[in-house]
Amino acid sequence: MRNSNRREFIKSSAAVAGASVVAIPAIAKDSTSANDRVRVAIAGLGGRGRNSHMNALHQMAKENVEIVAFCECDEKRLEASNAKHEKETGKKAALYKDYGKLLEDKSIDAVSIAMPDHWHALATIWACQAGKDVYCEKPVSHNISEGRKMVQAARKYKRIVQAGTQCRSSPNIREGLKKLHEGVIGRVYMAQGIAYKYRAGGKNEFGPVPPTLDWNLWQGPASEKPYNRLAIYRWRFLRHYGSGEIADQGVHQLDIIRWGLKLDTHPNWAQAMGGKLFRPTSEVTTPGNLAFACQWEEPETQVLFETRDGFTNPGAGMGTKYPFVDHRNVVGVIFLGSEGYMIIPDYSSYHTFLGRKRELGPTASTPGAPMMDLDHFRNWIAAVRSRNWHDLYADIEQGHKSATLAHLANAAYRTRRTLHFDPNTERFIGDEEANKTLTRDYRKPFVVPDEV
């Protein structure tokens, strides 16, 4: 498609002001019947948005769920996603480069956010203010302060906000953790999570901005930096935009750990150490190797977590007998109890091993270890219709609390010391250097507000 034609059908604004907070509708829907069509926009068309989100929503077409718009600041991705959508549904969607413009469309009921992490909080808050429900990819925030404001916005504007920790919608994992709580492995006294994922390194590639990309909109809330191709493909591992492996993959396992141990408050203590041990010359700015420990004073509980980005051994059978989704990486959770242990090696299974002989106990798995995206979107849409956020399996507050663990790990790694955290104020005690990690400097007009 010629550039002139492309720009005719992409509803965008080159002005930065187009991304300012949109007006809040005077009346928001209080209820939606099962027969009402839910009109969804997908914002962010990288791998998760154009594949997982789109595929799940397409499968819900017979359930009166319809994708009606796409938002992406790269016109190439925008066009490709719309072409896929049209091929699979026979319908075209409204296209936006500017997220602020999308939110002005009052025909859109809900937004599915798959933007990079540094956009999650602002995109969610703006959507709530615009009267739209939200599905937000994990980790829900780029820092601890953002997560709390997302919760506040969801409650203030009575929005249904689901965090993208889709293991919560796995029937098998739900069954396993119910048995865990019933005592299948006795008294559970601690848990360990692992995310051993082979990752490529990366070098900065500064240069001219591609003609199809609006770099200003891509950067959004992050402070101004020159265009870097590494950021487009490896932003998860650049601290300016992402939070590293502990938040990218690890937040799934941290969420399961919190759920399994019934940890509904933040820990009191956090410590971490690590570095770029496997690829020391890589120019990513988050650690590939990270050993994280945190502890709660009441109830007295310890959680351990480790990330690795190179070749690795398996752990508790995870990665060999119980492989992860791609059969290459070693990812999962180990719950330790007085009568045995339980592993959750993927997104949709659990296995228990009892006594000193580790005899196989209750177990359940789904062939192929699916990621449970469809189930998680269905749970979200059901809550959108009921208007009851308690119906969500992964309400935004749960997403915030799990993401906070990853942010605590990064804060402890950056300060290189044990940190004392106040779960009530969500601030570090007696440590102003650590408190600087609680938020960031935002680039106008993409500012996460002090009051939502």
Please say whether the beta carbons of 347 and 370 come within 8 A.
yes
Q: Residue 406: which pLDDT band, with cuts at 50, 70 and 90?
A: very high
pLDDT higher for 8 or 371? 371
Q: Among 377, 385, 425, 409, which Cα is nearest to 166's?
A: 377
Average pLDDT on 330-355 reads: 98
Average pLDDT on 65-86 reads: 98
pLDDT digits (tens, 9 = 90+) for 188-222: 999 999 999 999 989 999 999 999 999 999 999 99
Q: Mean pLDDT across the chain, nearest whole number?
A: 93
Q: Among 349, 353, 312, which Cα is nearest to 330's?
A: 312
pLDDT digits (tens, 9 = 90+) for 27-52: 345 545 556 899 999 999 999 999 99
- Considering the chain, what percentage of its residues have pLDDT values greater than 90? 90
| Architecture field, domain 171-367+400-438 | 2-Layer Sandwich (3.30)
Q: Where are the domains of the chain?
A: 32-167+383-395, 171-367+400-438
pLDDT digits (tens, 9 = 90+) for 358-374: 999 999 999 888 999 99
pLDDT at 8: 40
Rounded CA gap, 301 and 322, in Å? 27
CATH code of 32-167+383-395, in short, is 3.40.50.720
Q: Among 162, 8, 148, which Cα is nearest to 75's?
A: 8
pLDDT at 30: 53
Rounded CA gap, 395 and 372, in Å? 16
pLDDT digits (tens, 9 = 90+) for 407-438: 999 999 999 999 999 999 999 999 999 999 99
pLDDT digits (tens, 9 = 90+) for 150-189: 999 999 999 999 999 999 999 999 999 999 999 999 999 9
pLDDT at 2: 38
pLDDT at 328: 87
**Is residue 72's pLDDT more than 50?**
yes
pLDDT at 327: 84
